Amino acid sequence: ETGVTQTPRHLVMGMTNKKSLKCEQHLGHNAMYWYKQSAKKPLELMFVYNFKEQTENNSVPSRFSPECPNSSHLFLHLHTLQPEDSALYLCASSQETSFEDTQYFGPGTRLTVL
Amino acid sequence: EDQVTQSPEALRLQEGESSSLNCSYTVSGLRGLFWYRQDPGKGPEFLFTLYSAGEEKEKERLKATLTKKESFLHITAPKPEDSATYLCAVQPLGGETSGSRLTFGEGTQLTVNP
């Protein structure tokens, strides 16, 4: 595997379900991110982790719960979601240095909440 | 608050018809401006990073330029495979050691007809 991978690629869940999204980066990066992309809206940053520590929570509802067990893996735990949470969820990673901090994205998980 | 505005929202070109996409931005201090390409149902693919006004970068038929207020993505003699949504994002100064924050525009949807 290369780059940033995400599983599952598609997910359909009811409002009472609990599910998790998984992201893995094979780039040796130290920072990982969750973004939400809804139709006709810009990408919205949700969470940032740097060296496994959460450094940003962009006012995300508590029904979204991130977990970063190490610098290569990132999870987004979902529970009691609403239909308006249906979107493409993107994971990204970057290697922060003084000169370079490009974020590389995974293919995304298309989430549908019924 | 950082802001990014992309224009036009959508652009249709004939194969070989050169044009430019615009990204206007407002940021307290710019660390970097990023261009990404996104195909339907996929994650954004990194194209360029620009760091200072006057900087230019090229890749195949694409050329990105930067001023203090905007960036342009010039497409020379486009081909149908250049059809995609092109995203612009800005990264502010500060927070270099805590994971970076990108603010994205809504994107320009480019269609190149054969």
pLDDT at residue B99 tops 60? no
Q: How many residue contacts between A and B have a Cβ separation below 8 Å?
A: 71
Q: Residue B98: which pLDDT band, with cuts at 50, 70 and 90?
A: very low
pLDDT of residue A100: 67
Chain B residues within 8 Å of chain A (Cβ atoms): 4, 31-32, 34, 36, 41-46, 49, 87, 89, 91, 95-107
Partner residue facing A102 (CB), from B42, B49, B107: B49
Mean pLDDT of A55-82: 92
- B44-73 pLDDT, tens digit per residue, is 999 999 999 999 999 999 999 999 999 999
- A89-114 pLDDT, tens digit per residue, is 999 999 876 566 889 999 999 999 99
Residue of B51, B86, B102, B103 to mutate when probing chain A, most A C-beta within 10 A: B102
User: Average pLDDT of chain A?
Assistant: 91
Where is B25: in which H helix or E strand?
Answer: strand B19-26
pLDDT of residue B51: 92
Mean pLDDT of A68-89: 95
Chain A residues within 8 Å of chain B (Cβ atoms): 4, 6, 31, 33, 40-43, 45, 48-50, 55-56, 88, 90, 92, 94, 96, 98, 100-108, 110
Per the CB < 8 A criterion, the answer to whether A95 and A27 are in contact is yes
What is the C-alpha to C-alpha distance for residues B89 and A45, in angstroms, rounded to an integer? 12
- Residue A18: alpha-carbon gap to chain centroid: 16
β-strand pairing of B45-50 with B30-38? antiparallel
Q: Residue B81: which pLDDT band, with cuts at 50, 70 and 90?
A: very high
pLDDT of residue A97: 65
Residue type at position A105? F
- A42-57 pLDDT, tens digit per residue, is 999 999 998 888 888 8
Share of chain A above pLDDT 70, in %: 96
What is the C-alpha to C-alpha distance for residues A40 and A56, in angstroms, rounded to an integer? 24
Q: Residue A5: which pLDDT band, with cuts at 50, 70 and 90?
A: very high
pLDDT at residue A65 tops 90? yes
For B81, list phi and psi in degrees, rounded to 5: -70, -5
What is the C-alpha to C-alpha distance for residues B85 and B108, in angstroms, rounded to an integer? 5
Residue of A7, A68, A105, A110 to mutate when probing chain B, most B C-beta within 10 A: A105
Partner residue facing A101 (CB), from B32, B45, B103: B32
Residue type at position B41? G
